[in-house]
Amino acid sequence: MEPVRSLREHLLRLREAGELRELGQAGLGDVPSLIAESGGMAGMVSVRGYAAPFAFNTMSSRRHAALALGIEEEDLRSRFLEAAAKPRAPESLGDLGMRGPMEPDLEALPIPKYYERDAGRYITSAIVFARDPDSGTMNASFHRIRVLDGRRGVIRMVENRHLHRIYMSARERGEDLKIAVEIGANPIVELAAAYQAPFGSYEAWIANAMAGGSLRFSDFAGVDVPLETEVLLEGRIRHDAKGEDAMVDILGLYDRPRMQPIVEFDRMYVSEGFVFRGLLAGGPEHRFLMSFPIEVKLERQLGDVLPGVRRVVLTEGGGRWLHAVIQIEKRLESDPRTAIIAAFTFDPSLKMVVVVDEDVDPEDPEEVEFALATRFQPDRDLVILEGMRGSSLDPSSDQATLTTSKWGLDATAPMDQRDRFRRAAVVRGG
C-alpha cells in the first residue's frame, strides 16, 4: 500500500481494516466520554449543531501508524529512524487547494471541554508550524490551544522546546511570531510532529521522508506546510499578551495553571466537507504519539552505547512517560547498569528503568514482573540515584527544582547461570 495522502484517506483505510467505529450523533458534551470509553478504537461522531464530524483515536497505536504508511507494523521503527536521519524537502511547492481565506471562527468548530477542571474548551490536535526569524529553521510540533473566542486562544508552549525558543527570539525583538496551524493533518505529519527532532531538523520533512517523498507542500505564513489538512489557520503568537492555561497532561493528572501567550488568528481555510480532529489528553492516542518517538529515539541512542539493546518500551503503568523496560542481549555483567545510567541520561523524564533479557517480552507486564521476582536481588541489582533532574509532570518530584530520585532494576539472569533461569517448555508432539 502507498502512504495515505490525508486524514480522510486514513479514515477509509481504518474502516477497511475494522479499526474505525462510527457512532452516529452526539452532543458536544458527550464527545469526551465517548473517547474515554472507546478503548483506543478510532471513532467518528456527528456532533449536533456543527457541520464537521469529529474524528478521534486515529493514531492511537503502532497498527494505526503502519496503516497510514502502508507498511508492516514490524517495519515502523526502522522507517521512522531512517526518515529522522534523512529528512526530505519537497521538490516543489504548490497551491493550498482549500476554501478560503475566510474570517477565522473557532466557535464554529466542535471543540469540547474534555475534563471537568479544564480552564475551557481546547483544540488538542493542533500542529503549529513556524520559522525561526534568526536562522530560518522551520519547526512543526503539537500544541494545545484554549479557545477564548472566535479568533483568539491561549497556546501552551513547553519552556526551552523549539517553538518556545523561536517565539522567544521574536519576543526579544518586540515582535509577534507568525505561525500556521493545522487541525486534522495527514497522520504521517502528526507522527513526525510528535517527535522532538534536533533543532534545525524540520519535522514536516521527516514526515515527507517517511512517506517516500509523496507529501505535497505549500508556502504558507512563511513556512513550508504540508497540504491535505482539514483546517488551516494563519495567525500570530502575541509577544505582549497572555492568558491562563490549565489542562490535563499525558499522565491523566491536572497540569498546574500557567500564564501562556495568546495566539490571534487572521485567516482560516478548510477542505471541502472537512472533518474536525480531536485528541483526549492522557488517552491512548496522546500516550502513543508522545511515547513512540521517544522509544525509537532512545533505542537508537542506547544502541550506540550498547550494541546488545533490542527494545525499549515506555510502560502503560508509567503513563508511557516515566517508566521504561529495556530488553538487551547481555554481553557483559555490567551492561544492565550501563543501560540504566544511559537511559536516565538520554531521557531525564524517566524515573524507573527495568532491564530484562531477550527471553522476556518488554511489553508484557506479567513477564517483566516474573523476571523481577526470579532474577532480581535488591541488595545487588538495584541502582538508586538522588537529586536527579526529572519530569515536571511527576507530582511527587520537587516542583521548585524539578529534581527527583530514580531507580534502576537489573532483572537479567547471571551470564554463567542462564540455564537455571530459563522458563520450562512444554513438550509438543512426538
Report the distance separating Cα 363 and Cα 314, nearest Å. Answer: 9
Confidence band, pLDDT 50/70/90 cuts, at residue 430? low
Mean pLDDT of 129-152: 95
Residues 218 and 339 grouped into a single domain = no
**pLDDT at residue 386 above 80?**
yes
Question: What was the pLDDT predicted at 418?
Answer: 85
The neighbour count for residue 9, using CB atoms within 10 Å, is 16
Report the distance separating Cα 249 and Cα 284, nearest Å. Answer: 12
For residue 120, what are the contacts with CB-CB under 8 A and spacing of at least 6? 113, 146, 147, 148
Residues 257 and 148 grouped into a single domain = yes
Question: What was the pLDDT predicted at 428?
Answer: 87
Predicted TM-score of the model (pTM) = 0.93
Residues 230 and 303 grouped into a single domain = no
> Within 13 A of 153's CA, how many CA atoms are on the CB side?
29
Residues 85 and 218 grouped into a single domain = yes
Report the distance separating Cα 85 and Cα 74, nearest Å. Answer: 19
| Within-domain flag for 145 | yes
Mean pLDDT of 55-69: 97
**pLDDT at residue 280 above 80?**
yes
Q: Which of residues 92 and 72 earns the better pLDDT score?
A: 72
CB contact at 8 A, 26 and 17: no
Q: Which helix (H) or strand (E) holds 183?
A: strand 177-183
Q: Which of residues 213 and 247 earns the better pLDDT score?
A: 213
Q: Which helix (H) or strand (E) holds 204?
A: helix 203-210
Task: Report the b/e string of 235-245 with b at 16+ CB within 10 A.
Answer: bbbbbeeebeb
Cell of 255: 497540569
Percent of the chain at pLDDT exceeding 90:
90
Confidence band, pLDDT 50/70/90 cuts, at residue 160? confident
In the chain, the N- to C-terminal Cα span, in Å, equals 42
Residues 124 and 260 grouped into a single domain = yes
| Within-domain flag for 237 | yes
Residues 270 and 290 grouped into a single domain = no
* Long-range own/partner contacts, residues 84-88 (CB < 8 A, 24 or more apart): 84/195, 84/197, 84/201, 84/206, 84/209, 84/296, 84/297, 86/209, 87/201, 87/202, 87/205, 87/206, 87/208, 87/209, 88/205, 88/208, 88/209, 88/213
**pLDDT at residue 392 above 90?**
no
CATH code for the domain of 340: 3.40.1670.10
From residue 160, alpha-carbon distances to 156, 163, 165 in Å are: 12, 8, 6
**pLDDT at residue 360 above 70?**
yes
Residues 136 and 177 grouped into a single domain = yes
Strands (E), 207-345: 217-220, 223-226, 231-245, 258-270, 276-277, 309-314, 323-328
pLDDT in tens, 4-42: 999 999 999 999 999 999 999 999 999 999 999 999 999
Q: Partners of 353 in the beta sheet?
A: 324, 408
Question: What was the pLDDT predicted at 247?
Answer: 85
Report the distance separating Cα 250 and Cα 271, nearest Å. Answer: 30
Question: What was the pLDDT predicted at 425?
Answer: 86
Confidence band, pLDDT 50/70/90 cuts, at residue 429? confident
Cell of 401: 527544582
CA nearest to 119, candidates 267, 256, 20 = 256
**pLDDT at residue 422 above 90?**
no
Q: Partners of 311 in the beta sheet?
A: 327
**pLDDT at residue 200 above 80?**
yes
Average pLDDT, the chain: 95
CA nearest to 184, candidates 235, 121, 233, 231 = 231
Question: What was the pLDDT predicted at 255?
Answer: 83
For residue 368, what are the contacts with CB-CB under 8 A and spacing of at least 6? 325, 354, 356, 360, 361, 362, 411
Residues 250 and 358 grouped into a single domain = no
CB contact at 8 A, 204 and 225: yes
Report the distance separating Cα 42 and Cα 21, nearest Å. Answer: 6
CB contact at 8 A, 75 and 17: no
Residues 386 and 333 grouped into a single domain = yes
| Within-domain flag for 57 | no
State how many domains the chain has: 2
Last residue of a domain, one of 274, 301, 333: 274
Q: What does R_g of the chain's alpha carbons equal in angstroms? A: 23
Last residue of a domain, one of 226, 247, 274: 274
Mean pLDDT of 342-353: 97
CB contact at 8 A, 207 and 186: yes
CB contact at 8 A, 23 and 44: yes
Residues 192 and 259 grouped into a single domain = yes
Report the distance separating Cα 297 and Cα 206, nearest Å. Answer: 14
| Within-domain flag for 268 | yes
Quote the domain boundaries for residue 179. 75-274
Tell me the catalytic residues.
249
Question: What was the pLDDT predicted at 399?
Answer: 85
pLDDT in tens, 293-338: 999 999 999 999 999 999 999 999 999 999 999 999 999 999 999 9
Secondary-structure breakdown of the chain: helix, strand, coil percentages, each rounded to the nearest 5: 30, 30, 40
pLDDT in tens, 215-267: 999 999 999 999 999 999 999 999 999 999 988 999 999 888 889 999 999 99
Bridging pattern class, strands 403-411 and 382-389: antiparallel
CATH code for the domain of 175: 2.30.110.10
Dihedral sign computed on CA atoms, order 17, 32, 107, 139: negative
| Within-domain flag for 414 | yes
